[in-house]
Amino acid sequence: MTTVLVADDDSDIRELVAFKLGQAGYDVLAVGDGAAALETARAQEPDLAILDLMMPGLSGLDVCSQLRRDEATAALPVIMLTAKAQEQDVATGFATGADDYVVKPFSPRELVSRVQAVLARTAS
């Protein structure tokens, strides 16, 4: 089963994303901070990561750049999920290595479509 790592310090968002992805047939690993996200990505080898940009400790950007530096996780597709919607924020997200950028408030249905699209794109 395709496994998706979800890292967000907001438990509502975490629960919501996990519920929707679970409903869409994905196996979900949900964590509440950046350090746990990094650890889980290395230990569990998910197929995709959804990272909140602003988390306590390591931010989503920090996690993304550390994933890219590590050979084992460098190819892991990453979707940033964040309330920061300015063009500079989006550009920074992509420059750090994100494959897609979803702005909060978000549509759970659209998020699933994005996950499917990113997985399909990175698989080809």
Partner 1 sequence: MTSAAGVVARALVLAALPTALPTALPASLPSALPWALLVLAAVVLLLVGGIAARRAARRRRAERVRRATEPLRPLLLELVAGEPDEQADAASRLTALAPPVWRSVEPAVVALLSKVRGDSRAEVVGLLEDRGVLARARADLHRRGAVERARAAELVGAAGDATSVPALVELLTADRAGEVRLVAARALGRIGAAEAAAPLLSALREPRGRGGVPPQVLAHALLRLGPAAAGHLTAALVDDSAAVRATACEILGRVGAVGSVAALRERLRGDASPEVRARAATALGRLGMPSALPDLVAASAPPAPGAVRTCAVRALGELGDPRAVPVLAGLLADDDGRVAALAGPALVGLGGPGRTALHEAADPGAPEAAAAPDDAVDAVPDAAAADAPEDAAPGGPLVRARAREALVMAQLREVVPAQRRPSRARAVAPARLVGDGA
Q: Which of 82, 9, 16, 6 is nearest to 46 (CA)?
A: 6
Joined tokens for residue 29: 């690993």
Q: How far is the CB of 57 from partner 1 (least distance, A)?
A: 22
Give the range of 32-40, 54-62, 111-119 binding partner 1 by CB under 8 A: 111-119
60 versus 77: smaller Cβ distance to partner 1? 77
- Give the shortest CB-68-to-partner 1 separation in angstroms: 4
| Rounded distance between C-alpha atoms, residue 88 and residue 11, angstroms | 27
Instruction: Indicate whether 108 belongs to the interface with partner 1 (CB under 8 A).
Output: yes
Which 66-105 residues touch partner 1, going by CB under 8 A? Answer: 68-69, 71, 74-77, 87, 95, 97, 104-105
Q: How far is the CB of 123 from partner 1 (least distance, A)?
A: 5
Least CB distance to partner 1 at residue 109 (A)? 7
Are 61 and 93 a contacting pair, CB within 8 Å? yes
Q: Give CA–CA dist 113/63, Å, rounded.
A: 23
Distance, CA of 98 to CA of 79 (rounded, Å):
6
Rounded Cα–Cα distance for residues 75 and 33 (Å): 21
- In angstroms, the CA 53 to CA 124 distance is 27
Residues binding partner 1 (CB under 8 A): 1-2, 10, 12-13, 15-16, 19-20, 23-26, 45, 47-48, 65, 68-69, 71, 74-77, 87, 95, 97, 104-110, 115-116, 119-120, 122-124
